[in-house]
Amino acid sequence: MTRRAVPMLALLLAGCASAPTPGTLVPAERFSQRVVPGTTTRAELLAAFGQTRTVVFDSGMEAWLYSAAAPGGGASELVLLLDRGGVVRKMRVRPPAPGDQPR
């Protein structure tokens, strides 16, 4: 029992520290041309850029994360907010920051 419990707990604790999955990599220019807040829909996103990392909230809103190669190296985050009807409401681009470090 003791021999089993210790490694099992270690595995459980290790599982808590797994790194987040980045968003699907997309071409930045095409993304900025195709995605228009207030217009672009979930179906259009899936068709153009494929599935990616999403967070679905109890409210029905969704946050989607795509990534794009940044000009100076690294990756920019392209974050979308989809409303309950599946339409993009907000978008933000976060370039890689010099101070980026693992959280």
Partner 1 sequence: MRSTVSALWMLALLPLAAQGQVSAPAQGAPPAAAVVPPAQTVTVSSTRDPVDKSYRRMIKGMLRFEREHALAPQATLRFRLLPRTPKVDMDGITLKVVGDGISVPVPVAPDNSFTLPRNEQALREDAAVLANRKTTSMTWRAQVITPGLPPGARRLGDLRLECLVGVEAGLVSNRSPLFGWIADTLNSPEQVCNSPDGNFLFFTERPLFSVTLSAGARREILPFRFLYAGGEQTPDMLPYCDCQVLLDRTYYAPIWDRSWPDDTLLTFDYMDDANAPEASP
| Interacting residue ranges for partner 1, rule: CB under 8 A | 1-2, 5-6, 9-10, 12, 17-18, 20-21, 23, 53, 55, 57-59, 61, 63, 65, 77, 79, 81, 89-90, 92, 94, 97, 99-103
Judged by beta carbon, residue 39 or residue 59, the one nearer partner 1 is 59
C-beta closer to partner 1: residue 48 or 93: 93
Q: Which residue type is seen at 38?
A: G
Smallest distance, Å, CB 25 to partner 1?
14
Instruction: List CB contacts of 41: < 8 A, sequence separation 6 or more.
Output: 86, 87, 88
- Using the minimum distance from each CB to partner 1, give the nearer residue, 61 or 70: 61
CA–CA separation, 47 and 54 (whole Å): 16
- State the Cα–Cα distance between residues 6 and 4, nearest whole angstrom: 6
Pick the closer one to partner 1 by CB: 27 or 100. Answer: 100
Contacts of 44 (CB under 8 A, 6+ apart): 34
